[in-house]
Structure 1
Amino acid sequence: MQPEDEHRRRPSLSMPILRIARHQHETGALTIGNLLAALGEASFGWALVVFSLLTFLPLPPGSSLITALPLLVITLQMMLGFRYVRLPRFLSRKALDPEKLRRAVLRLRPVTRRLERVLVPRQTWIFARRNERALGVLLFVIAFALFLPVPFSGWFPAVSMFIIGVGLVERDGMVTMIGLVFGGASVVLTLSLLASFAMGADAMIDAAI
């Protein structure tokens, strides 16, 4: 017989978000600020999770210019050594559509299912206070890659931010580092696409001349 802890299933990462969003929607209080407060007292981990989810909402092309802005704000706050997320009032009071949020969560289920199997507190040195600013710098660079309106690249930095956020919430340094590696690869991909588009534009200009 296997030990009991091997049979114990880890709680779903998605359920707290969906449960709180449903309750707040029923009471007419579903806003970004209220959702974050209910999830984790404005911690950076939950902020990364929620705002990366917003990039997966069904929005028109180019919307990453808007959805990435909150990620730039909170990663900048990490760089500056803030202890908690401080959202601008207009952003904190922004209402959310629970159905669109649910669809965004479901789009990331393949990722969350895999994370749920491996998450455990480990390599917690990465979360030490002395490392927070450096971590904020790396996250800001990834968020900036998401901010750039480069076709076919936005999905990758958004997923990496989601993974890193989950790692912060669960104090899993290994998952956080995996997210950082994935984020670094997404930055390289974004820069490569930018260079490719720039060379293509130059070639078109030269041909026109």
Structure 2
Amino acid sequence: MTGKKAKRKRPSLSLPILRTSRAQHRAGTLTLGTLLTALGETSFGWAIVVFSLVTLLPLPPGTTLLTALPLLVTSGQMALGYPHVRLPARLAGLRIDQDRLRRGVLRLRPVTRRLERILRPRYITLFARRNERPLGLVLFVIAFALFLPVPLSGWFPAVSLFTVGVGIVERDGLVTFVGLILGALSVLLTVAIILSLAAGADALLH
């Protein structure tokens, strides 16, 4: 020993999701509600992580009209000052394909690896009760951008929401703020694409 403590490797962000979903899949109980409850009771952070991950699954185009709904509900409840997530029974009961979920988790590995290197509790005043409603409102706007069936724009708000969710779970205000900036950029991108499509449609009509 040199007197310096060996730096303990941080656990992977993906492991709780993969382990829990695999166990529930084997038991035949894997749904949005059961996965969320097993991961973190009904915390907003884990809900945003799980629901944003679901939107990144390899699904047909336009599916975000459905997969973004839990994010709209969660962020909306956060903006309204709910103490925890209350999923409607229909959303909580939605079945998840475990193989697709695993592929979605692996797809995000480049993002999670970078987050794992820097995550630590800091700037925790961002998570004070008084800031929860404004934070929820911003997340609702980002989730709405994800909800809109706009070509080429879905990946960006989903990744930004995932980053914010991880920041909330780990009480890392800096990572949360970075996720919010990415979210703001994704909203601007969505608006730009909508305006471009509208201008193109107007040119065709005239």
TM-score bracket, normalised by the shorter chain, equals over 0.9
**1:2 Cα deviation (Å)?**
8.0
CA displacement, residues 72-124 of structure 1 (integer Å, 9 cap, x when unaligned): 11100001100110001011122211111000101100000000000000000
- Please give the residue correspondences for 1:49-64 in structure 2 after superposition, counting only pairs within 5 Å: 49-64=49-64
Query: What is the percent sequence identity of the aligned residues?
Result: 64
**1:11 Cα deviation (Å)?**
0.2
Is there any run of 5+ residues in structure 1 with no aligned partner, and where?
Answer: none
Is there any run of 5+ residues in structure 2 with no aligned partner, and where?
Answer: none
Question: Where do 4+ consecutive residues of structure 1 move more than 3 Å?
Answer: none
- Please give the residue correspondences for 1:1-209 in structure 2 after superposition, counting only pairs within 5 Å: 1=2, 3-5=4-6, 7-206=7-206
C-alpha distance in structure 2 between counterparts of 1:203 and 1:39, whole Å: 50
- Provide the TM-score with structure 1 as the length reference: 0.96
Task: Tell me the C-alpha RMSD between the 2 structures.
Answer: 1.0
C-alpha distance in structure 2 between counterparts of 1:91 and 1:135, whole Å: 23
Aligned to 1:96, the other structure's residue is in SS state: coil
* Change in 2 beyond 3 A, CA 1:110/1:205: same
**1:66 Cα deviation (Å)?**
1.0
**What letter matches 1:22 in structure 2?**
R
**1:4 Cα deviation (Å)?**
2.4
- Provide the TM-score with structure 2 as the length reference: 0.97
**What letter matches 1:140 in structure 2?**
F
**1:10 Cα deviation (Å)?**
0.5
**What letter matches 1:166 in structure 2?**
V
CA displacement, residues 3-42 of structure 1 (integer Å, 9 cap, x when unaligned): 325x311000000000011111112211111111110011
**What letter matches 1:189 in structure 2?**
L
**What letter matches 1:120 in structure 2?**
R
C-alpha distance in structure 2 between counterparts of 1:152 and 1:93, whole Å: 29
Corresponding residue pairs, total: 205
Aligned to 2:78, the other structure's residue is in SS state: helix
C-alpha distance in structure 2 between counterparts of 1:39 and 1:14, whole Å: 11
